[in-house]
Structure 1
Amino acid sequence: MKNLNGNLFDIQRMSLHDGPGIRTTVFLKGCSMHCFWCHNPESLSPLPDVQFFPVRCIGCRLCEDACDWHCHRFEDNGIHIFNRECCIGCGKCTAVCPSGSLVKTGYSISPEQLADIVSRDKTFFGHSGGGVTVSGGEPLLQPDFVTLFFRLMKKMGIHTAVETALNIPSESLKAVLPETDLFLADLKHPDPRTHRTVTGVGNELILQNLSLLDSSRKPYAIRIPVIPGVNDTEEVMNAFQVLIDGLNHPLYLELMPYHEYGVGKYDSLSKDCHQLDGLHPPTKEKLIQLAKCFNSIQVRFRDGAKEIMITGGVLCEENQP
């Protein structure tokens, strides 16, 4: 196996939502799906991107001088124009921007460098039963990097988890199985045609990999993003229940309500997000209604500082640890 570097766009410390305990979540760039509601649009391309926030620009024009490709110009009234079409994502403009108007998202890092960064949080992991989670994007598009990084984590006694949509070659899943303690499998829709409409791909490979994961007996949980107008009906959840009835080993099911935090990122990347117009997070009552469709698996979702659990239609609320 080659000692490949990984392409990252963020490292989030002290995370409580990506597996057990306090975790460090590593976000890898590149995705094999294009869900229109994605809250990390900067993760879609495997290449570096430049985010542009015009409201932060102070008109210093340093970016204009730094860019070899003449992507930045200023009109007579001081308005900053960023020509993204000629940008190669080199980051020279972001390096000189003093106000954070230009931000490079995406960089290369070795497994050893990342292991050194994550290991600094080991004390928090030990006290809380936490560890490291790789997410994205789709982290298993970089299986060699994840495998090498996880081997280093295992040598340090750090719990490892992967959040994946499973739309990856089965060999990539098999490669990381030995080094992974927990999988978080994101499922979008049980119907293949609807799945293709809203994500750009069918779900046949995803279900094949889900069966492979289930037969491996590796601990895994299922996550379903609840998207209004896409899968927020009892009919869809009942279809998911049928799918889950064919599995033997999922630990629990987590409903993840759509949120609006990523909308501003689309503007910063000059990406169209018109499908998000008028889309609002589902209510707690709606999530409870959907959770009660599942009678053979514990369902969890978060409501502010609380984790809500429903087992066999019985509601239980627990404070966030």
Structure 2
Amino acid sequence: MSNQATVLNVQRFTLHDGPGIRTEFFLKGCPLRCDWCGNPESFNRRIEVGVYHNQCISSQHCGTCLDVCPSPNMLTFSDDYLFEVKRDLCSSCMACSDDCPAEAIKQWGSFMTLDECMKTIRKDKGFYQRSGGGVTVSGGEPLLQSNFVLELFRLCKQENIHTCLESSFFANWNRIEKLLPYTDLFISDIKLLDSQRHKARTGVDNRKILNNLRALSKTEKPIILRIPIIPSINDDDENIAATADFIINELNGRVQTLQLLSFMHLGEEKYRSLGLPYKMAALAFDRDNFQLRVNQIADYFNRRGIHCTVGTKDASMENAN
């Protein structure tokens, strides 16, 4: 039994990830490194600090972070402003984040117990009952903490609360299989169908993902699929046609809806806070023409008999932070 998880964010009253009004837990840690991800703070499972040096007031002789840090030599300054944290030395004690008066240091992630999660969930049970909502666990990749998800969903089902898992499905099947009795809905995405292209853009081969989708489609569980449409990366006719063929021929009619999520430039500041490069910074495209292309793709899927919608939510949880 796993009684504790590393949680990045909890969003109440969400309407996007599953039916009705929902409470959504975003768990920290992800094995993928999608070029377009808007949430780099979800990559690592450990608790981290994010540095927003433009908010630093060290030039005004603050120095609070230096006073409270157990190893102040890990803090790097430039022009009297905190520039970065030497993360290989940082113990993630979060003393600097707790005491920073300018909120220039942000804590990414915290530990939550099952009891703490259920206390939050129970506050909203009335909304679930009236709207047909429930609880969604997302990420990052929640299957990295699958034992915790199992226990949380088990508790939810004891109280007749609808459960939904949103996952990349890049995990061993046994992590998914054990959740089947306690999960009412699965949400996943297909980023690129070609395995080599998928690995080049996400860092991992997609064969495990596709095999897991095939296996899930043989159960009675409903599936919502999503495609984050990224201009010049996965919006070409070849990839779209191959994806439609896969859904029609290999997923046994279990896909309730296919949602297209239009790319937006999001998360660049968070990448800087973590000292990471934002790979999509140079991507330039005409927003109106791109949206026309997304609508064309949706029309294509619908003509192929796949119920397809264009989503209003970016393929990230940017608005949840």
TM-score with structure 1 setting the length:
0.89
User: Could you tell me which residue of structure 1 aligns to residue 267 of structure 2?
Assistant: 262
**Is the 8 Å Cα contact of residues 222 and 255 (structure 2) preserved in structure 1?**
yes
* Distance apart, 1:275 and its partner CA: 3.6
**Is the 8 Å Cα contact of residues 36 and 279 (structure 2) preserved in structure 1?**
no
User: Could you tell me which residue of structure 2 aligns to residue 278 of structure 1?
Assistant: 283
**Is the 8 Å Cα contact of residues 234 and 293 (structure 1) preserved in structure 2?**
no
* Distance apart, 1:72 and its partner CA: 2.6
| Residue pairs, 1:126-137, within 5 angstroms | 126-137=129-140
Within 2, Cα distance between the matches of 1:44 and 1:164?
Answer: 14
- Partner amino acid for 1:188? K
User: Could you tell me which residue of structure 1 aligns to residue 156 of structure 2?
Assistant: 153
User: Could you tell me which residue of structure 2 aligns to residue 178 of structure 1?
Assistant: 181
**Is the 8 Å Cα contact of residues 84 and 275 (structure 2) preserved in structure 1?**
no
Within 2, Cα distance between the matches of 1:210 and 1:80?
Answer: 45
| Residue pairs, 1:231-242, within 5 angstroms | 231-242=234-245
Describe the shift of the 1:232–1:73 C-alpha distance in structure 2 as closer, same or farther (beyond 3 A).
Answer: closer
- Partner amino acid for 2:272? D
1:265-320 CA-partner distances (Å, limit 9, x unpaired) = 1011111113432255674312111112211211012358xxxxxxxxxxxxxxxx
Name structure 1 gaps, 5 residues minimum. Answer: 305-321
**Is the 8 Å Cα contact of residues 29 and 43 (structure 1) preserved in structure 2?**
yes
User: Could you tell me which residue of structure 2 aligns to residue 165 of structure 1?
Assistant: 168
Within 2, Cα distance between the matches of 1:73 and 1:33?
Answer: 29
TM-score with structure 2 setting the length:
0.89
User: Could you tell me which residue of structure 1 aligns to residue 31 of structure 2?
Assistant: 32
* Distance apart, 1:204 and its partner CA: 0.7
Superposed structure 1 runs of 4+ greater than 4 Å apart: 279-282
- Partner amino acid for 2:114? P
Within 2, Cα distance between the matches of 1:279 and 1:100?
Answer: 32
The share of aligned pairs that are identical, in percent, is: 36
User: Could you tell me which residue of structure 2 aligns to residue 296 of structure 1?
Assistant: 305
User: Could you tell me which residue of structure 1 aligns to residue 12 of structure 2?
Assistant: 13
Out of 34-43 and 280-289, give the one that drifted further: 280-289
| Residue pairs, 1:1-321, within 5 angstroms | 2-59=1-58, 60-70=62-72, 71-72=74-75, 74=77, 77-85=79-87, 86-246=89-249, 247-248=251-252, 249-279=254-284, 283-294=290-301, 295-303=304-312
- Partner amino acid for 2:293? K
Within 2, Cα distance between the matches of 1:279 and 1:146?
Answer: 39
- Pairwise CA RMSD: 1.7
